[in-house]
Structure formats: structure tokens, C-alpha cells
Amino acid sequence: MTQTGRWPRRTWLARLGPHREVDLDQAACPREIIEDAVARVGADPVRWAMELSSAVVGRILGEVPALGGGSAAVEMLRAGNEVTTVRALVALVEGQAAGPPTGEATLVGIREFVHRGIPLEQVLHGVRVGHAATTEAFLRACVELVDPRARADEVTAISRELFSYVDDLSDAMIRAYLVEHEVWSTSAAAARADIVRSLLSGAAADVGEASRVLGYDLRRTHEAVVAWSDSANDGPRLRAAAIEVLRARGATTTLVVPVASGRLWAWGTVPRDGARRTGSWETVVQTLSSQRIQAAFGTSGDGVAGFRRSHREAERGERVEQLRREAGRAPRPATAYGDVAAVALLATDLDAAGEFVRRELGGLCVRGAPMEALRTTLYHYLGAERSLVEVARRLHVARGTVTYRVKRAQEVLGHDLDDRRFALHAALALAEEFGDAVLLPRQTNGRPGF
């Protein structure tokens, strides 16, 4: 019996359990929601719902990537979806009144979507994708756990109740979206964000009027920054850090536009010749590192075209860092696009990049520390124009070690290093940055059973 004093419906739901280890303390949604659900339906079914929610979020982002927007925004989406999934579970056990579909975690996400300019149609598309994936998982569990004699009726009932639940959820989300949109659309922040997005899209604009509204001279030379963190509550700290590092880059005025939880765009007007930097790149790195913030910088450019191009470059630098993170690489506080432009362009199509790497490197793609050492040494060897002394210095190893690794790498490749040297160096650069993301064929995302 549950703590509500009623015998629960659908006792088969109590037999649900996750396919992998799921820690209740790692829940994305508020702790009180998890504790209440555990008290009502048990710990293992709640763990199952949390695991399902994680897989569903992956499917939503695959179908509607605009609902992402950085690690903090994804975590917010995960929190909102986890609330709805856990409450759907409770509603199926105790009746829909026991599990209201919306809560603050869901509504915070709706407010963010409005501020980011994501159309209501895309938000509802995400809801439909999530509903389909969640219903599919519940129905599969029903088929596996329910007595065959009652299965058809139970499948029909589950489908009907989940549809009603999501219908109520959609209505609540539409109302919240429209209320927030009405408030936001009349704000100065919305006007500034709209102008910036219009400029970035290439739409024709009155530069003088846009500069006046933004309080930022678009006719100057600009350097763009994209800054992000893992915390949804880092807005003020992100803004302060972005301004500080732009000042260190020589900016005399700055423009900051928050675009998602834990993520913002920024620009600074900098000297055209790159002179008068008030701080070194090391200062930029230290500032960001101390704040646990990451940022990617575009190269400077003149006028609206430079404003737009520098921003595109900063976003490409951000994507490089995201791919490195997925590959398990250590995060870099600051990324200059000029330093990663080649790999950023090579990795525009990551599947094709992976095929290229595996074709060029052959046996050097094997996982493990020994082969990784061969790849890294060979990458630096080609980049240092075959200077054993320089590579030994960079890698902090003996010259003899460098000689051995280069010889061994060449044996694994099966051809001379001068054969397809450019392609070889490019493949090694991709492997150095992105690791398994290009060394191994990409696997289909998702969790077993969902």
C-alpha cells in the first residue's frame, strides 16, 4: 500500500527497474519530487523513469536540436523532462490527479525558450517527440510484464491515460509560453536580442539605428566571444567574465547578449591593428579558469560583416570544445579560433571526418595508451618539421623515445611519412583533438530497452 492510504493500481509498474545503475541523488529535478515519487511507487520504478527520461532527452535533442544550447540548457531540459516522466509514472499508478504535469522546473524551461526566441511550434514538437518515446517505453514494459490475458486492455488504457496526461501538459506549456512571450516581447532585452539575431542572420539593417538601440557601435572593429558554463545560474558571473576578458583583449566597449542558461554571446570593439592589448592571453586563460568558465574567441573583423564573421568563428571554436568534451578531453578555458580553425573546418561533418581519420591512420586508430602515444608523438613530429629535440621538449620524453615511437608508428602505418603527408598530419590533428569521436565509428545514441 502507498503512503496515500490506497492500494495502488497497476502493481506491475512496481517491477520496473533501470537497465544500468541509476543514483537517485543524481536526479536533475528537485529532490522533493523524487522523494515523493519513491514514497508513492518505490525506488526502482523511479530509477527506471530517470533512466528513461535521460534517453528521451537525447531523442528530443536529436529531433529538435534548437532546444539544446549548451550544457546548462540541456541540464534544464533534462530537469523539466524528468519531472514530467516521474509524474507520469505516479499518475499511471495512482491516477492522474496524483501527478500534476507541470511544475517550476518545467516552467523555467518554457521561460528560457521564449527568451531564446525558440518558436512555440518547436517547443511542442519536442513535447510530441518526448511523448512518443515515453509512451513507447511504457507500452514495451507493459507487454513484457502484464499477464497476456489482460495485456490488450492494459495497453489501451496506458495509451489513453498518457495521451490525456501529455494533452494537459501541452495546454499548460502553451499558456505559460504565451504569457511569458507577451511580457518578454515588450522588454528592452528582447529588442536587443532581436536586433543581434537579425544582424547575425544577414538581414538588412539600419546600422546607425541598430548601434543606438544596442549602445554599441557596429561600424567599429569587433572581436566576438561565446562563453559558457555548466551552471544554469551563472548569468551574472558569465557576463562579468566576458567583459573582463574582452577588456583584456583591448576592447573599449562591449555588448553582451545572454542566449541560454549558462551561455552568452559577447562582442568588444577592439583596435583594428590588434595593438593596445591591456592583458595577455595568459591573463584571459587565468580569468576564465578561476571562474570555471569556458570561452571561444573569433578573430577580429570590421563592421557588421566582421561582427557576424567573428561570431561564427567563436561558435565554431565552441563546437570544437564540445566535441573534445564528448571525447573525454580536458576542457580548455579559452579557445582562439585561429588556433583551431583547421580542425574546426575538418570536423564540420564529424562522420566524414571519422571515416577520413580511420582510412588515413589504419592501425594507429587502435584504442589504448601505447597507440595514443604513437599518434601524439607522430603528430608533434610532423608539426615540428621532424625535430627530435623539439618533440622531446614538448612531450617531456627522451630523444630516443621519440625516435622509437616515430619508427614504430611508421611500421603500423605501413608507408613512408612523406606519402600523403598533409592528409596524415590532418588525420593526426583530428585524432589528437577528438579521440574516440573520430577513431571509432559513431554509435547510435540511446539506452538499452528504450
Per-residue pLDDT reduced to its tens digit, 100-151: 555 666 677 888 888 888 888 889 899 999 999 999 999 999 999 998 888 8
Does pLDDT of 1 surpass 50?
no
| pLDDT of res. 5 | 41
> What is the β-pairing status of strands 334-336 and 263-269?
unpaired
Say if residue 19 is in the same domain as residue 162. yes
Least confidently predicted of 159-173, 195-209, 338-352:
159-173
Say if residue 327 is in the same domain as residue 354. no
Residue 257 host element (H or E): strand 254-260
Residue 91 CA to residue 160 CA, distance in Å, equals 12
> What is the β-pairing status of strands 294-297 and 334-336?
parallel
Say if residue 25 is in the same domain as residue 86. yes
* DSSP per-residue letters across 224-254: EEEEE-S-TT-HHHHHHHHHHHHHHTT-SSE
Q: How confident is the model at residue 420 (pLDDT cuts 50, 70, 90)?
A: confident
Host domain of residue 293: 201-344
E-assigned strands of 261-388?
263-269, 294-297, 301-302, 334-336
> What is the β-pairing status of strands 221-228 and 294-297?
antiparallel
E-assigned strands of 56-131?
none
Q: How confident is the model at residue 233 (pLDDT cuts 50, 70, 90)?
A: low
Say if residue 156 is in the same domain as residue 30. yes
- Nearest Cα to Cα of residue 222 among 303, 323, 330: 303
| pLDDT of res. 107 | 72
In a domain, 168, yes or no: yes
Say if residue 24 is in the same domain as residue 173. yes
> What is the β-pairing status of strands 254-260 and 294-297?
unpaired
Q: How confident is the model at residue 276 (pLDDT cuts 50, 70, 90)?
A: low
Does pLDDT of 304 surpass 70?
yes
Report the predicted TM-score, pTM, of the whole model to 2 decimal places: 0.67
Mean pLDDT for the chain overall = 87
> Mean pLDDT over residues 418-432, rounded?
92
Say if residue 223 is in the same domain as residue 315. yes
Count of domains in the chain?
3
Higher pLDDT, 186 or 220: 220
In a domain, 292, yes or no: yes
| Domain stop point among 185, 218, 235 | 185
Residue 240 CA to residue 19 CA, distance in Å, equals 43
Say if residue 339 is in the same domain as residue 380. no
